[in-house]
Amino acid sequence: MFNSPSDVAVRIHPSQFPGSVAAAMHASLNARRMNHKFHYDTPRQTLRWLRVHQAYSPACTDPAGTTLYSEAAAAAALRLRNHDDVDVISLGSGGGQKDAHVLAALEAIHPGVRRRYVPVDVSPGLALISRDAAMGVGVEAKDIVPYVMDLAESPDWAAALNPVLRSNAARLILFYGMLPNFVPGITALRLGALLRPGDALLVSANLAPGPDYAAGVESILPLYENALTGDWLLAVLQDLGADRGDARIEFSVVPCPDGSGLLRIQACAHFLRPTRLAYEDAVHTLEPGEKFHLFFSYRHTPERVAGHLAPAGLRIEQQWLNPAGDEGVFLITQKPGNPAGTSVS
């Protein structure tokens, strides 16, 4: 999977320093709510996630889903065609395949454009896989800055990323596959602070298909309620000492706790027998009947995406939806007259 012939320099944000990681895990165990980053923390978990993504993501399984990302990449590249320098910042880069389409589109629209690529991920392995994907479309190693960072634990994305970005370059920010796992509203403000006049943002969202929002969310439960996803989500508990039969995982649809009006799919481990989870010098015993929240994923509609972006001064300029109605990609820019990083009502 990796093709790098030599050592690679990787930038690590303080949110992923050992002390910060340990504090996040202790907080997760105390609250019985797993920080999502720990589902990508080890090579085994990374590979399990990649299998889930390849098996169930519409971007991989639906040819029309793949087309969405190609068309969005071309549109973003066309919008930035007059810029000789473009920084592509991928927040939650995953395996980098979608990013590679964007990087290739920039070169196709503007041959010779100077591309700089910053794959940001909580997983060092995924950041490096993204690096390889970018090199596969001709981005030079010197122009790639893998950045290991926990976006959920970093309140100021602009402050963290500005030091590695070029002041004279246009920015194309990618937020693929991340919107479902972040609290609405706050995320828009953090993205808006990174976006300047003339920059562009590509966001993808898992959507609730059909005219009935609640029914649409219920209809996509099988994309989560399956053996591959269950094995991936339970892996973090097994790494802490749980046995395979200690708990069963259950998926359900619940309202957003902050009152946004969104629904989310939630996964909880329900313990069937006494189980000891150990981390560093702390041991947590879960009794039969206790549950541990492992994961959530918000489902949006195009209208809801627009509504959550608007208070941050962001607008949808173009959008692409697959025929099934469960995947969307949005090209987003600042509203006219809204200075970078300023929220508006």
Q: What is the pLDDT of residue 339?
A: 55
- The residues with which 117 forms a beta bridge, in sequence order, are 88, 144
Residue 15 pLDDT more than 80? yes
Asked if residue 327 has pLDDT above 60, the reply is yes
Query: 12-210+304-334: what CATH class?
Result: alpha beta
**What are the phi and psi torsion angles at 105 (to 5°)?**
-65, -35
Tell me what pLDDT residue 1 has: 46
22-61 burial code (b ≥16 CB/10 A, e <16):
eebbeebbeebebbbbbbbbeeebbebbbebbeebbbbee
DSSP letters, 183-211, are -TTHHHHHHHHH--TT-EEEEEEEB--SS
Q: What is the identity of the amino acid at 238?
A: Q
Please state, rounded to an integer, the average pLDDT across all residues of the chain. 91
H helix runs in the chain, sequence order? 18-31, 43-56, 58-61, 63-79, 97-109, 124-135, 157-161, 186-194, 213-219, 227-239, 302-309
pLDDT at 343 over 60: no
User: Comparing 1 with 16, which gets the higher pLDDT?
Assistant: 16
Q: What angle do CA 28, 31, 35 make, to 5 degrees?
A: 30
Amino acid identity of residue 74, one-letter, is A
- In the chain, the percentage of residues whose pLDDT exceeds 90 is 75
Query: Would you state the structure tokens that stand for residue 213, as one six-digit string?
Result: 């929002």
pLDDT value, residue 5: 60
Confidence of residue 3 (pLDDT cuts 50, 70, 90): low
256-272 confidence digits (pLDDT tens): 887 788 999 999 999 99
Could you tell me where in the chain the CATH 3.40.50.150 domains are found?
A: 12-210+304-334
pLDDT at 303 over 80: yes
For range 331-336, the mean pLDDT: 91
β-bridge mates for residue 319, sequence order: 330
pLDDT above 60: residue 345? no
Closest alpha carbon to 311 in 327, 286, 331, 334: 334
Round the CA-based radius of gyration of the chain to a whole number and report it. 20
Quote the pLDDT of residue 338.
63
Residue 334 has pLDDT above 60, yes or no: yes
Contact 226, 232 (CB under 8 A): no
At 122-137, the pLDDT tens digits run 989 889 999 999 999 9
CA 176/CA 171 separation, integer angstroms: 15
What's the average model confidence in pLDDT over 210-232? 92
Write down the pLDDT at residue 186.
83
pLDDT over 70 for what percent of the chain? 96
Distance CA 254, CA 252 (A): 6
For 95, counting Cβ atoms within 10 Å of its Cβ (0-12 exposed, 13-18 middle, 19+ buried), the class is buried
**Which of 22-36, 108-122, 170-184 is predicted with the least confidence, judged by mean pLDDT?**
170-184
Q: Provide the phi-psi class of 325: left if phi over 0, else alpha when psi is between -120 and 50, else beta.
A: left
Please check the confidence at residue 57 and state whether its pLDDT lies above 90: no
**8-state DSSP, 153:** G
pLDDT at residue number 43: 78
Q: Which two tokens stand for residue 161?
A: 């990323």
Amino acid making up residue 207: L
